[in-house]
């Protein structure tokens, strides 16, 4: 991306970044010196979808907003990435424990009808 942006008359008017938060952070760091508007699509923890729980709160330069009602697209140059990455890792230990204790049991056994040859 940086190589493209460094070229004169590169034709880049805007960048959209969708993916892991850490990737979007580095995309915005790459585009900022070139003043290229960069839109990011945030995927935060969401519980109620109304903004009441605050789980999806994101800090921007001009205050807090809620991804579920104000987004999910935001100006990537205004996102407080350190705060967002910290919030996204808040439940990492609990998520790891849940995965360790998860025992998958296929509920399709016997439900699948074998076709005739």
- Reported as a single tens digit per residue, the pLDDT across 67-106 is 999 999 999 999 999 999 999 888 888 888 888 888 777 7
In a domain? residue 113: no
Instruction: Tell me the pLDDT of the chain averaged across its residues.
Output: 90
Question: Are the C-beta atoms of residues 96 and 86 closer than 8 Å to each other?
Answer: no
| Residue 31, domain member (yes or no) | yes
Q: Is residue 39 part of a domain?
A: yes
Give the angle subtended at the CA of 114 by the CAs of 108 and 116, to the nearest 5°: 170
Longest dimension (CA), the chain: 65
What was the pLDDT predicted at 109? Answer: 66
- 30 within some domain: yes
72 touches 41 (CB < 8 A)? yes
Q: Is pLDDT of 117 > 60?
A: no
Please count the structural domains in the chain: 1
User: Does 107 fall in a domain?
Assistant: no
Domain that holds residue 24: 2-101
Q: What is the pTM assigned to this prediction?
A: 0.77
- Residue 32 located in a structural domain: yes
If pLDDT is split at 50, 70 and 90, which confidence band does 115 have? low
| Residue 27 included in any domain | yes
106 domain residue, yes or no: no
């Amino acid at each position: 991306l940086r190589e493209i942006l460094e070229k004169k008359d590169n034709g880049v008017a805007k960048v959209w970044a969708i993916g892991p938060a850490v990737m979007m952070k580095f995309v915005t760091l790459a585009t900022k010196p070139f003043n290229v508007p960069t839109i990011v699509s945030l995927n935060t923890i969401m519980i109620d979808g109304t903004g009441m729980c605050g789980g999806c709160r994101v800090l921007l330069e001009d205050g807090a907003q809620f991804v579920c009602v104000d987004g999910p697209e935001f100006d990537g140059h205004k996102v407080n990435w350190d705060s967002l990455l910290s919030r996204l890792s808040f439940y990492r230990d609990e998520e790891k424990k849940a995965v360790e204790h998860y025992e998958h049991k296929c509920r399709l056994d016997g439900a699948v009808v074998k076709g005739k040859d």
